[in-house]
Structure 1
Amino acid sequence: MWPVSIASVAATLFITGITVGGFTIPSSCPDIPSSRYPFELAKGWAGVKVADGLHSPRGLVIDGEGRLLVVEEGLGISQHTVDTNGCIKSSRVLISMSALNHGIYLGKDDDTLYASSASAVFKWAYDPKSGNTTGSPVTIISGMSSEDHVSRTLIISPNHPNLLVVSRGSNSNLDYATVDPSTARSIVKVFDIMKVPNGGYDYVKDGWNAGYGLRNEVGLVFDGNNMLWGVENSADQLTREENGTSTDIHTDNPAEKLNFLGDIATPNNAWYGYPTCFAIWRPDPAIVDSTTMQEVGVGQQFVLAPNKTFNDTTCAKVARPPRLVFEAHTAPLDAKFDMPKYENMFVTMHGSWDRNPPVGYKLVAVPFTHASQGGYDPVAPANSNTGYVDIFYPPNEGNCSSSTCIRPVGLVFDAAGRLYMTSDTSGEVFMLGRSN
């Protein structure tokens, strides 16, 4: 795909707009200022800012009436009605609750709203016609306090509407205790929300695993076969220690991961490597497998300090590898498929703090394929570092920071196929669309 500058997109849209997938992406939305920071789009894509001045917008959902519900971290949940062009025409605070910080989801019939804080999951009765909640929040899961990663992503299985999936990250960069899944950190767990006990579930003791050894699996999404996938934020500031020598490898390693978690109706007790095994984004002369004497390749896993009992080859034997990798430190935070075809998984890249020059600050698409007798799978092989394409991105990625670039977080498609995307540090929401 060829990049198109936002200036040229705006020029094209100025008079009539671009018709994308059967709807029109307008050149601007009423009373909404232009984007705080410049961005570019892949060829065939159009984008417009639809909201400004939000308080750290993170996760978002759309109800059956087309209302946009956004978690504003430290504030609560805001609700926005949209016009026929997809622009926001009215807004209100639906739930004032400062503890809410990321996760949000609607039940099967839109009659229950779920949202999360760093330590708990709550539910409200929701009227899909009026858009109102009734009653006080009910705590359905607790026991998730954390010293570091605090996003608790929520998602419900399309074919098992009673099963709520909740992710919980590590307590630190290298949380070694989480090699034991009973810590219930660096893990994704499943809970039957039709059988919530009095007082709610205890995250540590209850539910079942959908995979562990997942450092911070913020983005979760189901494919067309109702199989769960996750995108993982991997570690920072790593060194490789071998034969008494420590080498800084953090600029290009480890890779962020795309993991296949599978059918959540069945416990998945597979270990995905963290906090011991990490994936390669860019092969490095400092990371040589002592068994094969070859550099560890893209997508393969490695250890920080190999020894006689546990080395890179051990990782290949005992840890489930990622299905695809993303560039180190890009920080993937959400993932959505373009239903009903499931031809692409869209992933927001929040952007790096642990790399010079910076990377991320964009939306990418991972092309997928569907085998006639099988499941969904990325088109690119697992050892590829070109398995995705930029869709929405800054004009100069290497100069980005939280105060100079958009930082994508949450994604949701509306019924018309328009893709909404939040940017937390800039307080904005964007609407994107493409031609077929």
Structure 2
Amino acid sequence: MKNAVVLAAGLHAAAAAAQTACSSILVPSYSAPVVASGWQAQLVAGGLTKPRSIAFDSTGALLVVESGKGISRHRFTDNGGTCLSANHSHMLVELTTLNHGLALSSDGATLYASSAEAVFAWTYDAKTASTSGRTRMLVANMSNSDLVTRTLLMSQHQDGTLLVSRGSSDEHEAQSESMTSGLSQIRAFDVGNRSAFATPYNFATDGRLLGWGLRNSVGVGEHPITGGVYAVENSADGVTRNGKDVHENNPGEELNFFGYLNGTVTANQGGNFGYPHCFAVWDASEIPDNDGLAIGKQFARQENATLRDETCASDYIPPRLTFPAHYAPIDIKFAPAGDTAYITFRGSFDRTTPVGYRLSTLSFDPPTGAPVADPSSATALTDVLTNADNTVCPDKCFRPVGLALDASGRVWMTSDSTGEIYVLQRTGKGGEGVFVQPAGKGAGGGSGGGTGEKSGADGRGVGYWGVVVAGLVAGLVVF
């Protein structure tokens, strides 16, 4: 009985502390997101201007590209779990042409960001929260219409190597057929010892070509154990096959593999992945003349004497995995153990029934650095955070974009359309998912949807307090 009283007192004290710590919880203007079982999520920042890519500096501050504005820097009061609140924000770089890409050098002393035309660099001091010196242009000649994001990834396995992804110009997609156009490609550049006054690299002719025939590989990631390079591909909209509209469920979005930067495996490196002629199959039943077509294969947009499905199979590199059409993958980040990749899906705009709009995970085998799922799998993704009702999207829902993992293993995610930042954390195996909201607001339910959990005094669901109780018993919960 004494132990029960002590436990109850401890639980009451913990609840009071948590309520105080999370007294200023933000509430989305739309229906609360649905959180998967074993996860907790909280909205921790709002009012940003189209937040895209994010990264943590060496002091733990969060850097955010605000499209059309520049790079902002944010500090948070951290009360444990997802209980965080912004306590300081300021513009670090004011440059309105910046629109997506962000990276830091391995030592954290150089900051990189991108516009539609170029990659820029600044000397950065995380302790003084400031940049110094001139704005340097490292890579140029990337302007085109339509697909204007230039994703940046600083390799953690090849020091000083910066990966840059450039999409197609949909208005002139035939230009992507030429390698020299620089369109629809991912390239790697040596920026580690680049002089501050060196002539910028020309994207179309310089650097190491990792892959081409890629319509828009917005998310690029590097496996933390093996160094394997992966990218998630936004495939084309409005596609026809032999003159028939197949755009509702095809082509599928893609996960592609580009080998290793150290040159040990380069089977696919520098190869053509099919665009604008060959596309990933998602729903073969929608495709006319579909003999032999299935997930894991590509179909020819227009079969003729020189291009057929067999040509796609023999002359182009197929996706390592295929995801549902129109999901629009934007970022991919790996957990440090290499067993999980997180992928944001910003969602559709060219489909009768909206799809996507979610954060999902993908299982990897750490020693090999390869996805666990077979290339023919239609169920490789596991959803973590989804919208309660996709039919109101894209206007009244979150649209996830950038990802970053902090030192505590929490997942940070931007929503550009709503100007928000979310934080998610695993709460353990099983139990309802919890969306943290103030008292009186219904928390989001688990992955099965529904009306949500019954909330405690601070807006946390009972599933959360079950974890708290278990932690108190084990002596592991710290507020």
TM-score by length of 1: 0.89
Instruction: Specify the SS of the correspondent of 1:36.
Output: coil
The secondary structure found in structure 1 opposite 2:270 is strand
Tell me, in whole angstroms, the C-alpha distance in 1 between the residues paired with 2:364 and 2:300: 30
Once the 2 structures are TM-superposed, how far is the Cα of residue 83 of structure 1 from its aligned partner?
2.0
1:101-140 matches, within 5 Å, as 101-140=99-138
1:286-331 deviation digits (Å, cap 9, x = unpaired) = 3435xxxx25101210111112322001111111111111110010
Do 2:55 and 2:103's aligned partners in 1 also have CA atoms closer than 8 Å? yes
Map residues 313-352 of structure 1 onto 2, 5 A cutoff.
Answer: 313-339=310-336, 341-352=337-348
* Structure-1 residue corresponding to 2:233: 232
Partner in structure 2 of residue 279 of structure 1:
280
Residue number among 258, 261, 269 corresponding to 1:261 in the alignment: 258
Q: Which residue of 1 aligns with 2:450?
A: none
Q: State the partner residue of 1:20.
A: none
Indicate the larger mover: 306-315 or 417-426. 306-315
Separation (CA, whole Å) in 1 of partners of 2:412 and 2:270: 34
2:466 maps to which residue?
none
Deviation at 1:380, TM superposition (A): 1.3
> What CA distance in whole angstroms lies between the structure 2 residues aligned with 1:176 and 1:26?
58
One-letter amino acid matched to 1:42 = A
Quote the Cα distance in structure 1 between the aligned partners of 2:334 and 2:62.
Answer: 18
Q: 2:287 and 2:38 mapped to 1: Cα distance?
A: 42
Candidates 396, 417, 426, aligned match of 2:389 = 396
Query: Which amino acid is 2:215 matched to?
Result: R
Q: Is residue 246 of structure 2 the alignment partner of residue 219 of structure 1?
A: no
- Secondary structure of the residue aligned to 2:78 is coil
Question: Quick check: 1:29–1:50 contact (8 Å CA) kept in 2?
Answer: no
Q: Which residue of 1 aligns with 2:44?
A: 50
Counterpart-to-counterpart distance in 2, 1:431 and 1:262: 31
Give the corresponding residue for 1:60: 54
**Which stretches in structure 2 are left out of the alignment for 5+ residues?**
1-11, 429-479
Greater strand proportion: 1
3-state SS of 1:316 partner: helix
Identity, in percent, stands at 39
Instruction: Tell me the C-alpha RMSD between the 2 structures.
Output: 2.1
Q: Distance in 1 between matches of 2:274 and 2:20?
A: 46
Aligned with 1:307 (options 304, 308, 326): 304
Q: Where do 5+ consecutive residues of structure 1 fail to align?
A: 1-13, 18-23
Task: Give me the whole-angstrom Cα distance separating, in 1, the residues matched to 2:19 and 2:421.
Answer: 15
Match of 1:35 among 28, 36, 43: 28
Q: 1:65 to 1:316 in 2, by over 3 A?
A: same
Distance 1:128 1:253 in 2: 45
Whole-angstrom CA distance in 2 between matches of 1:364 and 1:78: 26
Q: What is residue 408 of structure 2 aligned with on the other side?
A: 416
Q: Could you say which structure has the larger radius of gyration?
A: 2
What is the distance in 1 between the residues matched to 2:115 and 2:19? 35
Q: How much has 1:264 moved relative to structure 2?
A: 2.6
Question: Cα gap change, 1:309/1:72 in structure 2, threshold over 3 Å: closer, same or farther?
Answer: same
SS of 1:153 mapped into structure 2: strand
Task: Return 153-162 or 257-266, whichever deviates more.
Answer: 257-266
In structure 2, what residue type is equivalent to 1:428? E
Moved more, 76-85 or 174-183: 174-183
Task: State the shift of 1:194 in Å.
Answer: 2.9
Cα gap change, 1:15 to 1:179, in 2 (>3 Å): farther
Q: CA deviation at 1:29?
A: 5.0
* Residues 244-295 of structure 1, C-alpha deviations (whole Å, 9 max, x = no match): xx22100000000000111134472211111111001111253435xxxx25
User: Is the CA contact 1:361–1:400 (under 8 Å) kept in the aligned structure 2?
Assistant: no
What is the CA distance between 1:160 and its match in structure 2?
1.1
The reply to whether residue 186 of structure 1 matches residue 184 of structure 2 is: yes
Matched residue, 1:201: 201
- Report deviation, 1:88: 2.1
Kindly indicate whether residue 74 of structure 2 is the aligned counterpart of residue 80 of structure 1: yes
AA at the equivalent of 1:99:
T
Match of 1:95 in 2: 93
What residue number does 2:470 align with? none
Deviation, structure 1 residue 28? 8.1
CA contact (8 A) 1:361 1:406 kept: yes
Tell me the secondary structure at the aligned position of residue 83 of structure 1.
strand
Matched AA of 1:225? T
Q: Distance in 1 between matches of 2:297 and 2:21?
A: 45
- The code of the aligned residue for 1:304 comes to R
> 2: CA distance between counterparts of 1:422 and 1:235?
24
What does 1:6-45 align with in structure 2 at a 5 Å threshold?
Answer: 29=22, 31=24, 33-37=26-30, 38-45=32-39
Structure number with greater CO (CA < 8 Å, separation at least 6) is 2
Shift of 1:87: 3.0
The range that moved more, 210-219 or 400-409, is 400-409
The structure with the greater share of residues assigned to helix is 2
In structure 2, the CA distance between the partners of 1:297 and 1:78, relative to structure 1 (3 Å rule), is: same
How far did residue 82 of structure 1 move? Answer: 1.7
Q: Which residue in the other structure is 1:3 paired with?
A: none
1:355 maps to a residue whose letter is R
Distance 1:174 1:343, change over 3 A: farther
| 1:199 maps to amino acid | T
Given that residues 173 and 235 in structure 1 are in contact (C-alpha distance below 8 angstroms), is that contact kept between their aligned partners in structure 2?
no
Shift of 1:225: 0.5
The number of residues matched between the two structures is 405
CA change 1:354–1:285 in 2 (3 A) is closer
Amino acid at match of 1:392: L
Residue in 2 that maps onto 1:361: 357
Q: Is 1:433 aligned to residue 431 of structure 2?
A: no
